[in-house]
């Protein structure tokens, strides 16, 4: 493992919304993404990450996809560690493109039935960790009689090579229409321009991952560059169009190259405030 691969950093982002219910003013939401558990040869790095996550004392913890590289069993040595993540109200998760095992040749391993069984096992592992896995669903949070809603969808990528498993319309329809504030968990940030903004203008904040910042680049306060920007328009950090925000987390884990330069593994803490 090379330098930077597990040099975890906490990023803090304050966002202000005029339609945020008063009861949620100051709500602390923590995002992790792209754990890629199969890349870890020991338990120690994720144990450090969990300790850092718990120091943040978050109201809500979300994980925005790619728990594994390919196979459900990759995370099983880490379930005990990840189950120690603390959240005051809930721990929510979604699936990323790697979680479906689409990059495995299943022809000699039991075919489609084995692939389905692998995904079922992965879903069970989310539950064992204590995460509520949202599969095109709406999850409501209530404080003092006021609500916000978290929409969580399966992987949906605008690029042709990434299947569109997610159904945002289904998740959106499941939300209480009287709830004024919506957060979307969607793994692939290309979803934001392709569907979220044009079709669902009432989604206030979208949280994504997927890009890793390509685990390589220049990351300065006044200048950011990575080769991934030639593939993804939104690829690291915060973006805004009108009243809608997108945040792209550069991931907690790594895949392929066992290191990071510039775009270190991140834990993102959002403080939601009323404008």
pLDDT tens digits, 97-114 = 999 999 999 988 889 999
pLDDT band at 3 (very low <50, low <70, confident <90, very high): low
pLDDT band at 2 (very low <50, low <70, confident <90, very high): low
Q: Are 109 and 103 in contact (CB under 8 A)?
A: no
Which whole number is the average pLDDT over 64-69? 98
Question: CA–CA separation, 186 vs 219, rounded Å?
Answer: 24
- Res 230: pLDDT: 78
Burial class (CB in 10 A: 0-12, 13-18, 19+), 88: exposed
pLDDT tens digit sequence for 24-51: 999 999 999 999 999 999 999 999 999 9
Q: What number of helices (H) and strands (E) belong to the chain?
A: 6, 14
Name the DSSP letter for residue 15.
Answer: E
- Res 235: pLDDT: 86
pLDDT band at 72 (very low <50, low <70, confident <90, very high): very high
Name the DSSP letter for residue 164.
Answer: B
Question: CA–CA separation, 13 vs 19, rounded Å?
Answer: 18
Structure tokens at 111: 């075919």
Which whole number is the average pLDDT over 59-77? 98
- Res 225: pLDDT: 84
- Res 162: pLDDT: 82
Which whole number is the average pLDDT over 10-22? 98
- Res 118: pLDDT: 97
If we measure between CA atoms, which residue out of 194, 153, 198, 193 comes closest to residue 172?
153
pLDDT tens digit sequence for 82-141: 999 999 999 999 999 999 999 999 988 889 999 999 999 999 999 999 999 999 999 999
Alpha helices in the chain (DSSP H): 44-55, 79-82, 111-129, 168-173, 190-191, 197-199
- Count the helix, strand and coil residues of the chain and give each as a percent rounded to the nearest 5: 30, 30, 45
Question: CA–CA separation, 181 vs 23, rounded Å?
Answer: 12
Q: pTM value?
A: 0.96
Q: Are 71 and 120 in contact (CB under 8 A)?
A: no
pLDDT tens digit sequence for 172-224: 999 999 999 999 999 999 999 999 999 999 999 999 999 987 888 888 887 88
- Res 109: pLDDT: 84
Residues 6+ apart with CB under 8 A from 30: 53, 56, 58, 60, 61, 62, 87, 267, 268, 269, 270
- Res 252: pLDDT: 97
Is the sign of the CA dihedral 189, 65, 249, 226 positive or negative? negative
Residues 6+ apart with CB under 8 A from 118: 71, 72, 101
- Res 19: pLDDT: 98
């Amino acid at each position: 493992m090379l330098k930077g691969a597990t040099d975890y950093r906490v990023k803090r982002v304050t966002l202000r919304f005029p339609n945020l219910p008063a009861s949620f003013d100051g709500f602390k939401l923590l995002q992790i993404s792209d754990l890629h558990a199969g890349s870890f040869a020991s338990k120690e790095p994720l144990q450090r990450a969990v300790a850092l996550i718990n120091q943040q004392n978050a109201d809500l913890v979300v994980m925005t996809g790619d728990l594994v590289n390919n196979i459900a069993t990759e995370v099983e040595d880490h379930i005990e560690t990840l189950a120690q993540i603390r959240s005051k109200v809930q721990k929510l998760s979604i699936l990323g493109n790697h979680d479906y095992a689409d990059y495995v040749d299943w022809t000699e391993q039991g075919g489609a039935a084995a692939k389905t069984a692998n995904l079922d096992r992965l879903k069970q592992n989310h539950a064992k960790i204590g995460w509520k896995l949202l599969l095109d669903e709406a999850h409501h949070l209530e404080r003092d009689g006021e609500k916000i809603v978290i929409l969580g969808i399966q992987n949906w990528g605008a690029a042709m090579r990434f299947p569109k498993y997610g159904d945002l319309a289904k998740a959106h329809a499941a939300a209480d229409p009287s709830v004024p504030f919506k957060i979307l968990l969607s793994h692939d940030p290309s979803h934001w321009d392709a569907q979220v903004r044009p079709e669902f203008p009432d989604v206030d904040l979208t949280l994504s991952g997927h890009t890793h910042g390509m685990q390589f680049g220049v990351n300065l306060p006044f200048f950011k560059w990575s080769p991934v920007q030639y593939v993804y328009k939104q690829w690291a950090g915060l973006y805004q169009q009108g009243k809608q925000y997108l945040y792209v987390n550069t991931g907690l884990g790594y895949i392929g190259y066992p290191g990071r330069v510039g775009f270190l593994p991140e834990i993102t803490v959002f403080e939601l405030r009323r404008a």
